[in-house]
Amino acid sequence: MAFLIIDRRQQGKQKSAVNRQRFLKRFRKHIKEAVSDAVNKRSITDMERGEEISIPKKDISEPIFRQGSGGKHHRVLPGNKEFIRGDRIDRPKGGDGGGGGKASNQGEGMDEFVFELNQQEFLDFMFEDLELPNLVRKQLKDSDSYKLVKGGYLREGIPARLNVVQSLKGAKARRIALGGAIRREIKSLEQAFEALDDEDSEEGREISDKLERAQRRLNQIPFLDDFDLRYNNMIQQPTPTTSAVMFCLMDVSGSMTQDIKDLAKRFFVLLHLFLKRHYQKTEVVFIRHHTKADEVDEEEFFYSRETGGTVVSSALELMNTIVRERYPTDSWNIYAAQASDGENWTDDSPKCRDLLVKSLLPLVQYYAYVEISSGKEQELWQTYSEIPEHFPERFAMRVVKEPADIFPVFRDLFERKST
Amino acid sequence: MSKREPIAEGSEWTFDALETFEREIGKIAADRYRLDTYRNQIEIISADQMMDAYSSVGMPVGYHHWSFGKQFLSTEQRYRKGHIGLAYELVINSDPCIAYLMEENSMTLQALVIAHACFGHNSFFKGNYLFREWTDASAIVNYVLFARDYISECEERHGVDTVETLLDSCHALMNLGVDRFRRPNPISPEEERQRQKEREDHMQQQVNDLWRTIPQKEQIAEEKWPRFPSEPQENLLYFIEKNAPLLEPWEREIVRIVRKIAVYYYPQRQTKIMNEGWATFWHYNLMNDLYDEGLITEGNVLEFLQSHTNVIHQPDYDSPHFSGINPYTLGFAMFSDIRRVCENPTEEDRRFSSGYAGADWLEIVHHAMANYKDESFILQYLTPKVIRDLKLFSILDDDSDSAISVTAIHDDDGYQNVREGLADQHNLSKQEPNIQVWEVSLRGDRSITLHHDQHDRIPLDEEDAKEVLKHLHRLWRFDARLESRRGDKVHRVFHCNDEKVWIDSGEGSQSTETS
């Protein structure tokens, strides 16, 4: 009998991908909660991986009409060891003895539906509905985003770009130009023919011969020739793109305990991850400060242990310098996030406020200040709290008290605003 | 008979060897055992693809729905954690008969699986009366293709969420999408496609007729209206497809698709034991024959026997691994015992199985395969020996009694009781609630009323029933009621209207409400 063996292994294995996405979409509320919990529990170095998610089984059950417990149930079971007819057995505790058909009880996880969210999906859920606020398209020299615009016509090109109207126009002109002489000749021959008395005479036959030949020549001019063809020319024009720079300003002074630094770093890790993922063209400038501010690289920003006193304005001044040197506001969207415990050198806070209000806030799209303190609001917070009324769109400040606050505050700061 | 060379050495399989096995096993199956099969189409797949196949319930294609995604995620999770292994094979009731074989199976396993799926299951699909009557193997693949295309078209036109909600409701009623006492028309996809438009118009016409509100010439007095439907209807999905007042034509078509697919699975749900038993019985015999002919080695046989033993392992009722009766075990034991009763009948067999003791065993197993389903098969062929081997016993769990009582064990007095009990346990109409459409208020509030007849005082699971009633309401779009009846008395009444679902006890005194 004829039969067939097919090797399917090379073919796609993601047949269920759509169904998987549908599932994730349907239970997004549950999954988002689980993701938030997971983010709060994870260590800083461990943000980028999948996660095991569990959802209460009753929330995702597919109901059908089925028998409940109660009434009379007969069952036949295998493996009788000691029973004889008429024996009476106490009902097992716990299960209500219905025995309807649920017999597998592996102890744990009966009420939870557990599955693995992969890294991609995890990050998607983590940063869903977040964005950089007030992002504006600005012209940029090294932009690599182009759009194609029409730029005249070419004699050569691909069939898809053929411009029919131009091609036919050209053909028509050519036909008129090439045929002009012949048509003139035909016209004069016709006149001569009509002037004749006897059309059958020697002369008459000669003229009609010539006429016939001229007509044939006219017909031989092609309707459309290769060199009539015109193609649309498309040229690349650079388009304005969104380019953004994020300044991360972190306080590493002595008053910042290890716990507080840890929270600040958590905040910046999330921010960094978010930018890397959603805005590929974004640059990040890391500034850390105690009494003196330094621009550092990512590695040093997150892992260095240097410390000292506190002068917050040093960081703002450095940021101001860098912005004016490297990031002209006509081509950059500028963002800044500052994290601190709020303690500052007494005379320095008003200076910070003035720097912000006068120099920095007019330049930036958005400035977020995160104060990490478990007690009451600190000096910097009090000084800053005058700012929001002047720049309600651009300035936001939040307090973080414990690790669990980080993610909600982060989401809150970058929540997509409906417009 | 001179011994031949083994087909393959070592444990790595090759395509050549698969082909040779298919041919050699096929020869024995057809010549010696008269197994009549559809043409085989063997497909080699990876573990990931097997999980895909699981979640589309074994279909090569399926429409999209979140519940299949749930199935996939749960399989994936349990597989990755090592809680479950994946099946060695998966076979589809289609012509040609598609069998998926896992790539990581060893050579021996591939041979075993070919014997099991490509000849065991395959011949069962072709021979068993339920499959012959209820399914059309040559059309099913095309039909699910049609269904998927139609549903994704609906998703484009009406939105994914709308279609998803409709499918949710249909799935909830899927088990009530079958005419248990009537034979269906086999599915024919060509016709489906051609006549679908026609049907849409026609169906809408009929529905409109039914729900006509303009007074007709001869007004019949209110009390004279005949009850509709005149007979209770058990096929709920069919009833909705034809009579729901407000469904759009495309919605009726989707109800129909779910119903047709429910019909396709109906025979499988009633022949688990026979189907697996038959396939296991034949792989066991065929593998032994291959060994007798020298086509597989002793090493192969040992490996095969180990797998076979695992497959037919039946944990005792008190084992933590117990999850019901293993259909492979029971089915294999029963078919093997039919052969034994035919070949070596004992005195007991002559008394108990007088009809076929000493007969031609091949004749009898073919007859059993072709003409029975699990329930009747057990009633007819469960022998005392199998009951003793499995140490089967019957219990009665009655909530009006303080303890569970043992009603029968594997002794002379108990065999018949165990037989009947086990048969009942595989009788779908006793294991699933008996629910029928009782009445539709044609001239009143258009509500629909279902009746549930309690068997042995077993009530409905109330939480689920309320949810399902919501789905029914979503399809019917007017009030839905479900009376759960104990004999002549109404025990519980479930209500669902636009705002809420609630339950009344029969006397109407107590009521619990949920929104």
Residue percentage of chain B with pLDDT more than 90: 63
pLDDT, tens digit, 9 for 90 and up, residues B357-406: 989 999 999 999 999 999 999 999 999 999 999 999 999 999 888 899 99
Kind of pairing between the strands at A333-340 and A366-372: parallel
Query: Which pLDDT belongs to residue B249?
Result: 93
If asked whether residues A395 and A298 sit together in one domain, one would say yes
Question: Which contiguous run of DSSP H or E holds residue A370?
Answer: strand A366-372
From B111, B113, B109, B112, select the one nearest B100 (Cα to Cα). Answer: B113
User: Is the Cβ pair A3, B458 closer than 8 Å?
Assistant: no
With contact defined as beta carbons under 8 Å apart, do B472 and B496 qualify?
Answer: yes
Single-letter code of the amino acid located at B287: M
- Whether residue A318 sits in one domain with residue A199: no
pLDDT band at B225 (very low <50, low <70, confident <90, very high): low
pLDDT at residue A100, rounded to an integer:
37
Residue B511 binned pLDDT confidence (cut-offs 50, 70, 90): very low
In a mutagenesis test of the B interface, which of A65, A105, A110, A121 is the best target, namely the one with the most B β-carbons within 10 Å? Answer: A65
Say what the pLDDT of residue B289 is.
95
Q: Is residue B510 pLDDT above 50, yes or no?
A: no
Q: Which of A193-202, A363-372, B211-220, B223-232 has the lowest mean pLDDT?
A: B211-220
Q: How far is Cα A329 from Cα A293, in angstroms, rounded to an integer?
A: 22
- Are A309 and A394 within one domain? yes
A323 falls within a domain: yes
Q: Is the pLDDT of residue B515 over 70?
A: no
* A202, A312: one domain: no
- The range of the structural domain enclosing residue A178 comes to 159-234
Q: What is the mean pLDDT of each run of 10 residues along chain A (419 residues)?
A: 76 77 88 83 73 82 89 92 91 52 40 82 80 65 65 86 91 89 88 77 81 87 87 79 83 83 85 78 86 87 80 90 88 87 84 88 89 82 86 87 84 75
Q: Which of B69, B393, B425 sits opposite A83 (nearest CB)?
A: B393
A80 — contact with chain B (CB < 8 Å)?
A: yes
Of the candidates B46, B324, B409, which has its C-beta nearest A83's C-beta?
Answer: B409
Torsion-angle region of residue A94: left (phi > 0), alpha (psi -120 to 50) or beta? left
pLDDT for the residue B221: 52
In A341-411 the beta strands, taken as DSSP E runs, fall at 366-372, 395-400
Q: How confident is the model at residue B420 (pLDDT cuts 50, 70, 90)?
A: very high
CB contact under 8 A, A81 and B391: yes
Give the percent of chain B with pLDDT over 70.
Answer: 90
B109, two tokens: 């396993």
Cβ-proximal residues to B186 (8 Å cutoff; 6+ apart), any chain: B134, B135, B136, B139
What does the pLDDT read at residue A200?
73
Mapping DSSP to helix (H, G, I), strand (E, B) and coil, where does residue A380 land?
helix
Element (H, E) at B501: strand B501-505
Residues A187 and A273 grouped into a single domain = no
Same domain assignment for residues A225 and A265: no
Instruction: Specify whether A310 is located in the same domain as A366.
Output: yes
Residue A164 falls inside a structural domain: yes
pLDDT of residue B149: 93
Using CB atoms, pick whichever of A8, A61, A97 lies closest to residue B43.
A8
A181 & A263 share domain? no
Chain B nearest C-alpha distance from A274 (Å):
27
The CATH number covering residue A328 comes to 3.40.50.410
B441, pLDDT greater than 80: yes
3-class secondary structure, B211? coil
Taking CA B332 as the corner, what is the angle to CA B327 and CA B335, rounded to the nearest 5 degrees? 125
Q: Which of residues 49-78 of A touch B (CB under 8 A)?
A: 60-78
Q: How many domains does chain A have?
A: 3
Q: Which of A151, A150, A157, A152 is nearest to A226 (CA)?
A: A157
Using the 3D structure, point to which of A201, A234, A267 is the last residue of a domain: A234
Provide the pLDDT for residue A220: 86
**Are residues A404 and A270 part of one domain?**
yes
Q: On the CB side of A144, how many CA atoms lie within 13 Å of its CA? A: 2
Question: Is the CB of residue A24 less than 8 Å away from at least one CB of chain B?
Answer: yes
* Residue A269, CA atoms < 13 Å, CB-side half-sphere: 22
| Longest alpha-carbon distance in chain A | 137
Q: What is residue A7's predicted lDDT score, i.e. its pLDDT? A: 86
Of A74, A79, A80, the CB nearest to B396: A74
Q: Residue B89 is inside which H or E element, if any?
A: strand B89-91
B507: three-class secondary structure by DSSP: coil
Same domain, residue pair A299 and A219:
no
How close A368 comes to chain B (CA, Å)? 38
pTM of the model: 0.75
pLDDT at A95: 45
Select from B365, B298, B367, B371 the least CA-distant residue to B338. B365
Contact B418 A76 (CB under 8 A): yes
Domain boundaries, chain B: 15-128+271-306, 140-209+228-269, 312-430, 433-514
Instruction: Give the ipTM of the model, two decimals please.
Output: 0.85
Distance CA B348, CA B356 (A): 13
Q: Is the residue at A301 inside a domain? A: yes
* A406 and A351 within one domain: yes
| pLDDT number for residue B473 | 95
A93 in contact with chain B, both atoms CB, cutoff 8 A? no
pLDDT classification of B182: cutoffs 50, 70, 90: low
For residue range B325-355, what is the model confidence (pLDDT) as tens digits?
Answer: 999 999 999 999 999 999 999 999 998 888 8
Tokens of A383: 């000084």
Q: How far is B384 from B392, CA to CA, in rounded Å?
A: 10
Identify whether residues A271 and A402 lie together within a single domain. Answer: yes
Task: Test A9 with B45 for CB contact under 8 angstroms.
Answer: yes
Query: Is A84 inside any structural domain?
Result: no
CB B476 within 8 A of CB B508: no
What is the pLDDT at residue A102?
38
